[in-house]
Amino acid sequence: MDRRDILAERPVEKGRGFMPGVSVNPSRVLFTAGLTGRDPDGSLVSGGMASQARRTFERLQAILAQAGANFGDAVKQLVYVTDLEAYNASGRPERAKFFGGARPASTGLVVRRLADPAMLIEAELVVDLGGSRQGAPLLEKYNAEKHPGDFHQGVIVNGGRLLYLAGQVANNPDGSVAGVGDWRRQAEKVYENIGHLLRAAGATPASVVKETTWVLSIDSWRQHGPPVRRAFYSGDFPASTLVEIPGLARREFLVEIDVIAAVA
Amino acid sequence: MPFSTIATPEAKPVMNYKMGTRMEGGRLLYVSGQVAWDASGAIVGKGDIRAQARQTFENLRQVLRVAGGDLKDLMKITTYITKIEDVPAVAEARTEVFQGELPASTLIVVKSLFHPDFLIEVEGVAAV
- Which CATH number is A46's domain given? 3.30.1330.40
Say yes or no: A182 and A128 in one domain. Answer: no
Q: Is the pLDDT of residue A132 over 90?
A: no
Give the residue on B whose Cα is nearest the Cα of A20.
Answer: B32
Amino acid symbol at A75: V
Which residues constitute the domain of residue A26? 4-159
Nearest-CA distance from A6 to chain B in Å?
6
Give yes or no: residues A77 and A115 share one domain: yes
Mean pLDDT, residues A252-259 taken together = 98
pLDDT at B9: 95
Supply the range of the domain harboring residue B12: 3-127
If you write DSSP's letter for every residue of A198-249 in order, what string do you get? Answer: HHHTT--GGGEEEEEEEES-HHHHHHHHHHHHHHHHTT---EEEEEE-SEES
Residue B100 to residues B5, B18, B80, Cα–Cα distance (Å):
14, 11, 21
Q: Shortest CA distance to B117 belongs to which of B10, B17, B37, B3?
A: B37
Evaluate if residue A15 carries a pLDDT over 80.
no
pLDDT tens-digit series, residues A94-113: 999 999 999 999 999 999 99
Give me the DSSP letters along B76-127: EEEEEES-GGGHHHHHHHHHHHHSS-EEEEEEEE-SB-SSTT--EEEEEEEE
Q: Do A7 and B7 touch (CB under 8 A)?
A: no
- Pair A28, A145 in one domain: yes
**What whole-number distance in Å separates Cα of residue B117 and Cα of residue A148?**
40
Q: Look up the ipTM and state it.
A: 0.97
Q: Does A157 touch chain B (CB under 8 A)?
A: no
Contact between chains at B63 and A21 (C-beta distance less than 8 A): yes
Q: Does B16 touch chain A (CB under 8 A)?
A: no
- Predicted local confidence at residue A232, as pLDDT: 98
Same domain for A86 and A142?
Answer: yes
Going by C-alpha positions, the residue among A206, A164, A197 that lies closest to residue B23 is: A164
In the stretch 48-67 of chain B, residues with CB closer than 8 A to chain A read 62-64, 66-67
Looking at the structure, tell me whether residues A187 and A73 fall in a common domain: no
Residue A170 has pLDDT above 80, yes or no: yes
Element (H, E) at B64: helix B49-66
Report pLDDT for B108: 98
Do A80 and A175 fall into the same domain? Answer: no
Residue A153 contacts residue A207 (beta carbons within 8 Å): no
pLDDT at A260: 98
Where do runs of H (alpha helix) occur along chain A? 48-66, 84-86, 92-99, 183-200, 218-233
| Residue B19: closest C-alpha in chain A | A166
Supply the CATH number for residue B41's domain: 3.30.1330.40
| Distance from C-alpha of B3 to C-alpha of A210, rounded to nearest angstrom | 19
pLDDT digits (tens, 9 = 90+) for A186-205: 999 999 999 999 999 999 99
- Band of the pLDDT at A1, cuts 50, 70, 90? low
Q: With a cut of 90, say whether residue A179 has pLDDT above it.
A: yes
Asked if pLDDT for residue A9 goes beyond 80, the answer is: no
Confirm or reject contact between B113 and chain A (CB < 8 A): yes
* For A110, nearest residue in chain B (alpha carbons): B112
- Cα A262 to Cα A35, A140, A163, A209, distances in angstroms: 22, 11, 5, 7
Q: Model confidence at A229, in pLDDT bands (50, 70, 90)?
A: very high
Residue B106, pLDDT score: 97
Q: Do A165 and B19 touch (CB under 8 A)?
A: yes
Q: Which residues of B touch A175 (CB under 8 A)?
A: 12, 14
Mean pLDDT score of chain A: 96
Q: For residue B1, what pLDDT is reported?
A: 73
List pLDDT tens digits, range B60-114: 999 999 999 999 999 999 999 999 999 999 999 999 999 888 999 999 999 999 9
Residue pLDDT, tens place only, B21-67: 999 999 999 999 999 999 888 999 999 999 999 999 999 999 999 99
Tally of domains in chain A: 2
Best CA proximity match to A129, nearest among A61, A74, A63: A74
Does residue A204 share a domain with residue A220? Answer: yes
Decide if B30 and A75 are in contact by the 8 Å CB cutoff.
yes
A126, A144, A159: which is the final residue of a domain? A159
Q: Is the same domain home to A128 and A189?
A: no
DSSP structure class, residue B67: T
Query: Across the interface, which of A8, A201, A214 has its CB nearest the CB of B66?
Result: A8
pLDDT at B70: 96
**Confidence tier at A12 by pLDDT (50, 70, 90):** confident
Are A166 and B106 inside 8 Å of each other by CB? yes
Mutate: best of A1, A4, A6, A192, partner B, most B CBs <10 A:
A6
CA A78 to chain B, closest CA, distance in angstroms equals 9
**B5 close to A (CB below 8 A):** no
CB pairs under 8 A between A and B: 190
Give the pLDDT mean for A121-134.
92
- Distance from CA of residue A41 to its chain's centroid? 22
Query: Among A159, A184, A219, where does a domain finish?
Result: A159
A107: nearest CA partner in chain B: B33
Q: How many domains does chain B have?
A: 1
Closest partner CB to B107 (pick from A20, A105, A167) = A167
pTM of the predicted structure, to 2 decimals = 0.97
A127 and A194 both lie in a single domain? no
